Amino acid sequence: MNGSVARLEKVDLSLGQGAARVHVLKDITLDIEGGTSLGVVGPSGSGKSTLLAVLAGLEPPDSGKVIVAGEDIARLGEDRLARFRGARIGIVFQSFHLIATMTALENVAVPLELAGRADAFARAREELALIGLGERLTHYPAQLSGGEQQRVAIARALIGAPTLLVADEPTGNLDEANGTQVADLLFRRQKETGTTLVLVTHDGDLANRCDRKITLRAGRIDSDSTDRTAGAAA
């Protein structure tokens, strides 16, 4: 193990306004070791996707600390947070979020282009070859299957060598065969790159492939397969 890569300390978050305001995350403390995979499960509305958004710096907490790679991202301003996220955090969404007017190669190169890297396209070609799409470089998202689009999205998330990779229902929009292929790819590339994976899923079998699994209920950690949250609190 590589020590703690991400940690939530007493995180609380409510969303909505007035009477519609909902307390989504309640006193969440969670320590995630480097190079491991963590599956997050729980019923709808339990706070799974919100937890992922907080870890990725997409949703600021009302209180508590969100520490990624030694930086409390909850305290960063918008510009610094965007730069940090671009350098340290990779994100895979259920609905792919590819840019329709860009080819597979261009979609994967985007993060490195934004970072000013001269080798953006060369690295994108390498990453697409690693995931078996070296022959699909010039295809647009509409010309790719759902499984291929998600593989492109995974390549884009990993191209910057992120410290933390978060994936929100990465197989949720795919049939069983494509979902299995995408899951196999995700875990293979996570091991090959040594990044830390946090995976939200409704699929218990997929979550069980992770090194560790937590269950959220009503905004709290209800169970932890390694009991590390209990150990951290002790």
Contacts of 226 (CB under 8 A, 6+ apart): 212
Q: Measuring CA to CA, how many Å separate 218 from each of 14, 44, 121, 123?
A: 12, 9, 44, 42
Tokens for 92? 């895979």
Report how many helices (DSSP H) and strands (DSSP E) the chain contains, helices first. 8, 10
pLDDT of residue 2: 63
pTM to 2 decimal places: 0.90
Phi, psi of 213 (to 5 degrees): -140, 135
Percent with pLDDT over 90 in the chain: 87
Around 173, how many Cα atoms within 13 Å sit in the side-chain half-sphere? 16
Give me the residues of the chain with pLDDT under 50, please: 1, 227-234
Would you state the pLDDT for residue 225? 85
Tell me the backbone φ, ψ of residue 119, rounded to 5 degrees.
Answer: -95, 20
* pLDDT of amino acid 19: 85
The pair of structure tokens assigned to 174 is 């795919």
